Amino acid sequence: MNFKVTPLSAGLYLVATPIGSARDITLRALDVLASADIIAAEDTRTARKLMDIHGVALNGRPLVAFHDHSGDGAVKRLVADMAAGKSLAYVSEAGTPLIADPGYELGRAAAAAGVPVTTAPGASAVIAALTVSGLATDRFAFVGFLPSGKKQRETEIAALRDTPFTLVFYESPKRLHGMLDSLREVLGDLREAVVCRELTKRFEEVSRGSLADLVQQFDGRAVKGEIVVLVGRAGAQVVDDAMIADALRDAMQTMRVKDAATAVAGALGLPRRQVYQQALTLEADE
């Protein structure tokens, strides 16, 4: 038994849980789970299993579900419990609550009601992926999940083209290859990227290379598990009018002029207005 049961003051405790290996939980997280008056969880089965592994007994304390589909009523009940003097530990299924996981509405409502909100920090797939990626970590932007539709996805990628940070995405296994192909289409073949799969788990895999390399690596491959995709920051490149025109001709074969201009501007790191004007001229000439 590596935890201690001590009284907690009333408030909300956001508890990070392992993203794979159960041993990655912190001692403070176990203390909070062992001591809180109420435990709320995105998945109560996962929470109960984690507590059983570490010998944390409920001892009659309530373990309640709180997830993306919990309504305002659930938020109000939990905030009322905390306002009445109860301590509440909240855990998402894996990782840090609120980081592409539920908990935001609960945390915001607790703060608005004057209830103390604190964190028991720990595992996060975003940070774990950054540390093993080999990409720059001094500045990064967490994007989360991109849209599933190709057009919407590539428009959003184009808007991120010149962001001077390492970009971090989550993606589902079934959409991974399509996402990588969209990244390559918009950002170019040579942009450095990394795919992290099943971090801290038995089949952990880190694949590094250019976007063109990764598209080829995952083409036709059945992939399982939790996925984090990282893309290196853009490098400077010299672009002339002929290069823009060639890129526009290719894009305009499958896209409207406006969408083609957005994609090409993002891929080449140019102002969209400039590329759009050139696209209009090219359309008129051809």
Out of 56-70, 134-148, 255-269, pick the least confident.
255-269
Residue 270 has pLDDT above 80, yes or no: no
pLDDT confidence bin for 236, thresholds 50/70/90: very low
pLDDT confidence bin for 195, thresholds 50/70/90: very high
Q: Tokens for 121, please give them.
A: 């920090």
As a whole number, mean pLDDT of residues 203-228 equals 95
pLDDT given at position 242: 86
Cα dihedral sign for 236, 240, 159, 175? negative
Residues in the chain, overall count: 286
As a whole number, mean pLDDT of residues 53-80 equals 95
Residue with tokens 């009523």: 73
Average pLDDT in the chain? 92
As a whole number, mean pLDDT of residues 13-21 equals 96
How far is C-alpha 279 from the geometric centre of its chain's CA atoms? 34
pLDDT tens, residue by residue, 25-60? 999 999 999 999 999 999 999 999 999 999 999 999
Residue 272 has pLDDT above 90, yes or no: no
Q: Which residues of 205-231 are buried (b: 16+ CB within 10 A; e: fewer)?
A: ebebebbbbbbeebeeeebeebbbbbb
Order of strands, edge to edge, in the sheet holding 205-210? 140-145, 166-171, 227-231, 192-197, 205-210
Percent of the chain with pLDDT over 90: 74
pLDDT given at position 262: 85
Residue 169 has pLDDT above 80, yes or no: yes
pLDDT given at position 238: 55
Residue 146 has pLDDT above 80, yes or no: yes
pLDDT given at position 241: 84
pTM of the predicted structure, to 2 decimals: 0.79
Residue 237 has pLDDT above 60, yes or no: no
Question: Where are the alpha helices (H) located in 63-120, listed in sequence order?
Answer: 72-83, 104-112
pLDDT confidence bin for 193, thresholds 50/70/90: very high
- Cα–Cα distance between 162 and 258 in angstroms, integer? 19
Q: Tokens for 173, please give them.
A: 């296994």
pLDDT given at position 28: 96
**Residue 8 one-letter amino acid:** L
Residue 285 has pLDDT above 90, yes or no: no
